[in-house]
Structure 1
Amino acid sequence: MRVGLIRVMTTSDRRLLHAHGKLLQETFGFTVTSRSIPDQPHGVYDEASLLAAAPKVVELAREMAEEADALIISCASEPGLAEARALVGIPVIGAGSAAAAAALAFGGRVGVLGLRHQVPAPVSQLLGERMVLIDGPESVETPDAFLMPTGIFDALAAAQMLIDAGADVIVQASAGLSSIGMAEVLRRKLGVPVIDASQPPDPCSFRPSQPGSCRRSDPWEASVKAALRLQRRLPRLVGLSRPRFRTPGLQQ
């Protein structure tokens, strides 16, 4: 199956560009072509960046549809999804709503792990009252911030806080988390299902990985491992304290 994957950010780093497609190829055997939109190095992180991304996504969808069997908008906010579906004659999948739907299949409460002050609307609208929110990672205002050591630390801390707040499942609501391979790390560390918004669920999404199973390499995995080692040495550094709850409002 030929999949066109639209990265809703701008990068000249080929490893980063193809990180999500690599997961799809290794898990499902798809032939994946990845392209990124122009002029948005920080991706989608607020209303203005969402509106700016939409026409760029639609244009890429038009260009890629002729040589693909399906398209994936690899962004939990899904800019341009409705317009792309109306334009092309093949399936177009939005990462956010697909991940939220997979999370709902588990039952229980769903913790949303993403940017500090933003929950993508496709995720919040589907999860509704089953959504568990805390203040997001302190250092993460844009998706690319997850590539930094502080972003990794804060994501690990926030995930633990979601579990402490009563989440039974975690959905990753930022493509930046997919780029560092965080889902597999969290499954092993927390022992709960973790859904990656930029990857359709496979058996690894539905149970914690066991040693030697569901193994995937990732160019950023060494950074995550280093953060985990330092966290074990300095357990208070990441501030795993009482969850800070937020009431869902008008969130994008």
Structure 2
Amino acid sequence: MRVGLIRALTTSDRRLLHTHGRLLQNTFGFDVTTRCIPDQPSGVYNEESLRAAVPKVVEIALEMAGGVDALIISCAADPGLAETRALVDIPVIGAGSAAAAAALAFGGGVGVLGLKHQVPGPISELLGERMLLIDGPESVETPDGFLMPTGIFEALATAHMLVDAGADVIVEASTGLTSIGMADVLRHRLGVPVIDAVAAAGAMLASAVAAREL
């Protein structure tokens, strides 16, 4: 399957740009083409940056749609998801709503690990009362903050706090955590399910493909 992956941040670092695509290729075997939106080096982290990202995501999606079988918006806030779905005739998956949907498959309370005191709308709306706990590292206000040593260590500490407070499953509410491979580390350390938003989007797409083939 040819998948167009849209990164909702701006980077010229090819290693960082293709981190999410490599995860999808290695996990699901997708042939991934990745592009990023312009002029947002810190990604999506508040309402203003979300509004700015929407038309950029839609523009790139329209450019990519003719050459791929599906699109994934690799951002937990799902910028431009509804708008893109209305304009293209291929599957479009948002990482945030996919992560929330995956969390609903588990019982118990969901701990949301993301940016400082923020939860993307698609995650909070879908989880509703299941969203037991919300927290994020004090030093991480934008997704690129997880690339810094302080952000990494504080994310680990915050995840431990969520589990200690009663979370039965953790949802990573920032794809900045995907960029550093945090989910595998947390699963090993905490012993609870940890949902990576990009992997959840890939799993949803893979399930749709399998259902279509059947």
> What TM bracket, shorter-length normalisation?
over 0.9
1:74-93 equivalences under 5 Å are: 74-93=74-93
Counterpart of 2:30 in structure 1 is 30
Structure 1 segments (4+ residues) deviating >2 Å:
132-135, 200-203
Deviates more, 1:104-113 or 1:32-41: 104-113
Q: CA deviation at 1:199?
A: 1.6
Counterpart of 1:226 in structure 2 is none
* Counterpart contact for 2:171–2:196, Cα < 8 Å: yes
Distance 1:185 1:59 in 2: 35
> Is 1:111 the counterpart of 2:139 in the alignment?
no
Q: CA deviation at 1:200?
A: 2.4
1:57-96 equivalences under 5 Å are: 57-96=57-96
Distance 1:78 1:101 in 2: 13
* Counterpart contact for 1:195–1:201, Cα < 8 Å: no
Aligned Cα root-mean-square deviation (Å): 1.2
Q: Secondary structure at the match of 1:133?
A: strand
Counterpart of 1:11 in structure 2 is 11
Question: What's the CA shift string for 1:199-221, capped at 9, x where partnerless?
Answer: 22789xxxxxxxxxxxxxxxxxx
Distance 2:63 2:137 in 1: 36
Equivalent residue letter for 2:183: A
Counterpart of 1:44 in structure 2 is 44
Distance 1:198 1:73 in 2: 9
Q: Secondary structure at the match of 1:87?
A: coil
* Counterpart contact for 1:134–1:161, Cα < 8 Å: no
Distance 2:190 2:202 in 1: 18
1:195-210 equivalences under 5 Å are: 195-200=195-200
Q: Secondary structure at the match of 1:34?
A: strand
Equivalent residue letter for 1:67: G
Counterpart of 1:98 in structure 2 is 98
User: Which consecutive unaligned segments of at least 5 residues does structure 1 have?
Assistant: 204-252
Counterpart of 1:159 in structure 2 is 159
Distance 2:41 2:155 in 1: 21
The structure with more helix, counted as a fraction of residues: 2
Distance 1:95 1:134 in 2: 18
Cα distance change, pair 202–167 in 1 and its aligned pair in 2 (3 A)? farther
Distance 2:202 2:77 in 1: 21
Cα distance change, pair 202–18 in 1 and its aligned pair in 2 (3 A)? closer
Deviates more, 1:28-37 or 1:132-141: 132-141
Q: Which has the larger radius of gyration?
A: 1
Distance 1:193 1:202 in 2: 17
Identity across matched positions, percent: 78
Question: What's the CA shift string for 1:51-97, capped at 9, x where partnerless?
Answer: 00000000010001011100000001011110000011101001001
Q: CA deviation at 1:133?
A: 2.3
Distance 2:92 2:141 in 1: 27
Q: How many residues align?
A: 203
Q: Secondary structure at the match of 1:127?
A: helix
1:233-244 equivalences under 5 Å are: none
Q: What is the TM-score with the length of structure 1 in the denominator? A: 0.79
